Amino acid sequence: MTLWTAAEIADATGGTASAAFSVEGVAFDSREVGPSDLFVALKGDATDGHRFLAQAFAQGASGALVSEDADGPNVRVDDSFAALEDLARAARSRTAATVIGVTGSVGKTSAKEALFAALDRSMRGSFPGTVHRSVKSYNNHTGVPLSLARMPRGTRAAVLEMGMNHPGELAHLTRLVRPHIAVVTAIAPAHTEFFADEAAIADAKGEIFQGLEPGGAAIIPFDSPHRDRLIAAAQPHAGRIVTFGTGKDADVRAVEAIRLPTGASFVTARLGPRELSFTLSQPGAHWVSNALAVLAAVDAAGADLGLAGLALAELGGLAGRGARFLARVGGGEALVIDESYNANPASMRATLAVLAEEPGRHIAVLGEMRELGEDSARYHAGLADAVMAARVETALLVGEAMTPLAGVLEKTVRVVHVPDTARAIEGLRDLLSPGDAVLIKGSNGVGLSRLVAALRGQ
């Protein structure tokens, strides 16, 4: 299906088309360009997308968005990044979709994927068209406009993830997205290098409400110590405010959450006078919170809650965010919990709590947490109680910033401290035995996904 024609791209961006063409997708990473895509040649500090035009066309691109002379069908603009934002605005303007924006210090990608699954399941039989979402974790100043530009014109609902690591970033992104529903999953220490305190992080996350469409809904974590701050941020912009959590006054709350032998949870949620009981396939209290936020957003969108519950029961683990697999170890297998995509103190604690519930010997491979600023040593050392509560026998710590945690743990837990992922890969197999449960988690820049790939035999 045609996503954009050259004439539409030129009209949206104020550019000039060199020829007539049509595209079915949009990409700015030349490695991701596929047949019939539009390649957006962005200029950055490290590289220039114009250098990869030949590669993009060789991979099947139908056209390119460029800011300098180029061979091949293209739309020429003054600034390709500004043009990408213009294309995003045009995509948002032409859609009749219910648009949902998701942010938070932790859980936003997981909640986005769960919300997509819930809406897709609940709308599949009732509405024509599609449910659209951000791919991967495309949630920054380039990823959000790209996700919008990729949105088909017949979309019925869209779930767009928005992230930030500086004040003011979300205010800009949310005005591009213009959500009808804005969700904040949780507030926790993350990117603290750039914020005075956690309250400042809450203020920055609360910027998402500034882009709400008139009458829009704000979905806010009831149990957060920053709840009232978020409510105050939402009040000038939201038509209604819905809270979720375990507190008895939450609008959407978990009446009970029972862990099943499989690791899943059986949850009973109350939404005003209604109750919904469902199985949540993903383990952990943090996933119960995610599920409540999803139900609040599904309800605000007017979609089917019962079918959303079925989708939550079927939800699989996401690569780097809770995916599980069995790795061959000696003459048997070890359970691997892949949380390698990213980490901050709150998500570390949440996933260590999941490890605590697993049978067998527990091994934790923990990579350093980045962008924590001058409090980094305190945050790392502060994980010791969560590691010990998870009954970790061996902690394989990766990166220099893990030194404070190693110092606290070494008297009670076997600690192996290595400088990088390459050393971790070398040492981990010697630590594993059949029947072990292994948690792998760290900031994305540490590269623990390579260790996961090694355990998968890739």
Check whether 107 is labelled as a binding-site residue.
yes
Check whether 105 is labelled as a binding-site residue.
yes
Contact 36, 6 (CB under 8 A): no
- 27/64 Cα distance (integer angstroms): 10
364: β partners: 395, 439
Residue type, 329: V
- 408/416 Cα distance (integer angstroms): 13
Contact 111, 185 (CB under 8 A): yes
Check whether 215 is labelled as a binding-site residue.
no
- 9/66 Cα distance (integer angstroms): 12
Residues sharing a CB contact under 8 Å with residue 297, sequence separation 6 or more, in sequence order: 100, 115, 181, 183, 217, 219
Check whether 411 is labelled as a binding-site residue.
no
Contact 268, 275 (CB under 8 A): yes
DSSP state of 67: S
Residues sharing a CB contact under 8 Å with residue 426, sequence separation 6 or more, in sequence order: none
Check whether 104 is labelled as a binding-site residue.
yes
Task: Kindly list the distances between the CA atom of residue 82 and the CA atoms of 17, 91, 95, 164, in Å, as whole numbers in the listed order.
Answer: 16, 14, 20, 19
Check whether 143 is labelled as a binding-site residue.
no
Check whether 5 is labelled as a binding-site residue.
no
Task: Kindly list the distances between the CA atom of residue 219 and the CA atoms of 158, 246, 290, 309, in Å, as whole numbers in the listed order.
Answer: 16, 14, 11, 18
Contact 164, 174 (CB under 8 A): no
Contact 395, 413 (CB under 8 A): yes
The binding site comprises: 104-110
The binding site for ATP comprises: 104-110
